[in-house]
Structure 1
Amino acid sequence: MTVTFYFSEWRVVLVGKTGHGKSALGNSLLRHRGFFESPVSSESVTSHCRTGYRDMQNGYRLVVVDTPGLFDTRVTNNEISKELVRCISLACPGPHAFLFVLSIDRFTKEELDTIDHLKELFGKDVTKFVIFVFNGKDSLEYAGITLENYIKKSPVQLQSLIHRCGGRMTTINNRVPPKSKEDDVNNILSLVEQTIRSNGDKYYTNEMFEAAEKVYQSKIRELEDKYGKRLAELELREKIRKEIEEHEVFPNKIRELEKRLTELE
């Protein structure tokens, strides 16, 4: 079977934490209000990658891949990571840009963990292809501050990552009617075009991801080797303490368990 690629494409992948509006952004980009499910909820609806597209007036086809939210309340990060691997193939032969969707809000530890997780999963090469899109433009307008000033007050980790990604960032309000957010959508598409041009029309390849995946898995194995035994000891210690607290445990059994605890100290 022969596979034909549509080469006049701009391929983008949406990534970010659960509940920050990736699916809503995807609908805005596609000019299709309900293509990606986007309810008001703290739980992620997107459990599997999904692709949509539209043909633009400039002659290019815009391909949008929506991904599961990191720190999904229903699935493990391991499962999410595996699904993100699949998103690379859905954006075949490779995405031109990753739209990292964030919310105009205070940054929690989970937020910063999301940033670290994406860096580890996709590797250092991904910084050439990342665009930061902040959902909640209306909050900035209400406060009377610019996105640039907002970023200056954000955690150093985020400022550093945006700098390493070439300062590519913009904002959007996905809750307004399509015509009201047309300028925001065009700003995002303009950044996508700039990213493509700055990379010489190249895209994030499967080879880049595989190289990053090897490094990532190597780090995981190192951590397992380093902490695996210690975690097993802690679990055993907790189990022993619980047994000692049980009223049904006989005195001689208590002495035996206490001896084992002492050996673990």
Structure 2
Amino acid sequence: MDIKSTEEKHETGNSNCLKDVRIILLGRKWTGVNQAGNTILGWDGFDSEEETAGNKVRHGEVAGRWRVTVVKTPGWWKTLNPIETRELTKMGIIHSVSLCAPGPHALLLVIDMDDILEEKSGRVIEEHLEILGNGVWNHTIVLLNYGIWQDSFTSVGEYTDKRGKVLGGIIKKCGRRYYLLNSQNRSSKTQVVELLNKIEKMVAANGGNLFELDANIAQDVESKIKDVDEKAKQREISVQMERNSLRETYKGETYHLEEIRLLLMGCILSGKTRIGDTILCVPENTQYCKETRRTYKSVERQTQMGRWTVRLVDTPGWFMFSSLTETPEMVKQEIADGVLLCAPGPHAIILTVCASIAFTEAHLRSIREHMSLLGADVWRHTIVLFTWCDTIGETTVEQFIESEGRALQWLLRKCGNRYHSFNVQKANETTQVEELLEKIEWMAAKNSLFCSNVIETEEWEEEGTVTQNTPARESLTVMLDEVLKRRDEEFLENIRRILMEPRTPMSMEDPLTMSLDEEHTCNKKKLSIWLRQQQGGNEDTSEYESGDFAE
């Protein structure tokens, strides 16, 4: 199709005039992208406070002359490069082009004039735009969003001289195209008309050609979006079926916990302490003060939530990508001591994972190493709690899981696919907390209490790693699983038989202990020692080099 022939021209005959103008808005979070879009549209098409993981498309009319389509893309964080940006955001940026068929006339890069651009943040901007290909700069205009800035400087040149030259470098890459937009002055229609005239001139300078995305990139992303949506729906159905099954299994049962003990774990800035405040229903004004506080010691707090007394222990976090050896001994000791504050033991370990950034292999490695402080059995008692889910908007947490790929999916499988999500914007709604506590109660019905074993170390083995003793290892594992399963069944059958027998003078007064943790842990220790002996004491030092993950 001839792109030029698809353009509708004004009856004036001016070949530079467009009747329909399609615009893509790009920019990092909190730079006023939504406000800029509303100023162009002339109405509140975008929620000024909303940050989403997907695209938003709105339409408007300007000066009775242009029909405008504005696509607002998801923003990125100021200092995070595309590798650290979640897949949903990158997919959204690329997918935005298809929402402007046959193609956008202009890409507007929104930059807040109050924002001081340093070299790193400038490089982040360039790298995110180049997700669309190197040709993106020929179709981009820098939209300088300002409010009170105009009272401080008289020109963009003066601004770049006094606030750094990074912005000047970006403007240069755009062919020195920029426009100053006062999004606080919505009543002025002149500035929008001037902006659209500038877009028309740029289109003319490009020979009337619209921005085109590489066909292979577009096809790959569209295919990935479809695949993510399908797998996310399957995951939702699977989770709902398991929930219904659990409800049916425990229907009519009297097993209810009066007290639930929780241990919070997670990296720094994952929203761990804020989640603790949400679970404990801390008032919002108090919560705000706690958000900036870093946890240095394990702290126990408690509250009453419905029929449950909730005891929650918040532990110090570790840096997101740090190894266990890089974490201070004091932090490691506090994490271990956190279990003691949950005496006689936590019903669940809540592992917080931030949904506003990418979940990488480095992130997974750090989590695995720090969770190993509590022993290999920790995974049976862990629930992944996704935080900052208000940043993904209408996107489901299942879509986030499926889009991020195998590192995050491995973590969930390790935790028995137990996960929950919190939207802190709905902190006053107790439903999300009650649903979490219900999941924990079901998990506790299946498990005994968690008992930390900090001496035991878990041997990590990646998918595709072939060792000399793999057949023996697999056979022994299967055999042990069968023995443990059979022993559990015999144990429960004995309990049922004892309960069904009439009481006699020889009946025990003291209740039987239901915990098998001590015997089970002993067997696992022996197995771990035997496996290490079979390998000659060699450790696998390339567990993450292949990038594959095993159960």
User: TM-score normalised to the size of structure 1?
Assistant: 0.70
Distance 1:153 1:188 in 2: 26
Letter of the 1:169 counterpart: Y
Moved more, 9-18 or 108-117: 108-117
Distance 1:166 1:86 in 2: 25
Letter of the 2:74 counterpart: P
Letter of the 1:128 counterpart: N
Q: Does 1:65 align with 2:71?
A: yes
Equivalent residues in 2 for 1:1-265, closer than 5 Å: 7=8, 8-32=19-43, 34-39=44-49, 44=51, 47-54=54-61, 56-57=63-64, 59-71=65-77, 77-104=86-113, 105-107=115-117, 111-112=121-122, 114-139=124-149, 141-154=150-163, 156-179=165-188, 182-207=189-214, 210=217, 236-241=368-373, 243=375, 248-249=452-453, 264=541
Tell me the alpha carbon deviations over residues 56-111 of structure 1, each in whole angstroms, 9 at most, x when there is no partner: 44x44332222222249xxx631122222332122110001100011112236884
SS at match of 1:178: coil
Moved more, 80-89 or 202-211: 202-211
SS at match of 1:87: helix
Distance 1:261 1:156 in 2: 53
- For residue 50 of structure 1, report the CA deviation from its aligned partner: 1.3
Distance 1:128 1:148 in 2: 22
Question: What percentage of aligned pairs have identical amino acids?
Answer: 20
Tell me the alpha carbon deviations over residues 30-57 of structure 1, each in whole angstroms, 9 at most, x when there is no partner: 222x222224xxx515743213131544
Distance 1:15 1:191 in 2: 18
Query: 1:177 and 1:240, CA in 2 relative to 1: closer, same or farther beyond 3 A?
Result: closer
Distance 2:73 2:455 in 1: 56
Letter of the 1:133 counterpart: L
User: TM-score normalised to the size of structure 2?
Assistant: 0.37
Query: 1:211 and 1:151, CA in 2 relative to 1: closer, same or farther beyond 3 A?
Result: farther
- For residue 204 of structure 1, report the CA deviation from its aligned partner: 0.6
CA contact (8 A) 2:27 2:111 kept: yes
Could you say which structure has the larger radius of gyration?
2
- For residue 118 of structure 1, report the CA deviation from its aligned partner: 2.2
SS at match of 2:214: helix
Distance 1:66 1:193 in 2: 20
Number of matched pairs: 236
Structure 1 gap segments, 5+ residues each: 218-227
Query: 1:77 and 1:191, CA in 2 relative to 1: closer, same or farther beyond 3 A?
Result: farther
Letter of the 1:80 counterpart: T
* Higher RCO structure (Cα 8 Å, ≥6 apart): 1
CA contact (8 A) 1:233 1:264 kept: no
Structure 2 gap segments, 5+ residues each: 1-5, 9-18, 79-84, 225-359, 379-450, 459-524, 543-551
Distance 2:457 2:86 in 1: 40
Distance 1:189 1:209 in 2: 31
Give the aligned partner of residue 220 of structure 1. none
Query: Once superposed, what is the RMSD of the aligned Cα atoms?
Result: 3.9
Letter of the 1:54 counterpart: E
Distance 1:158 1:208 in 2: 31
Distance 1:15 1:233 in 2: 32
CA contact (8 A) 1:240 1:261 kept: no
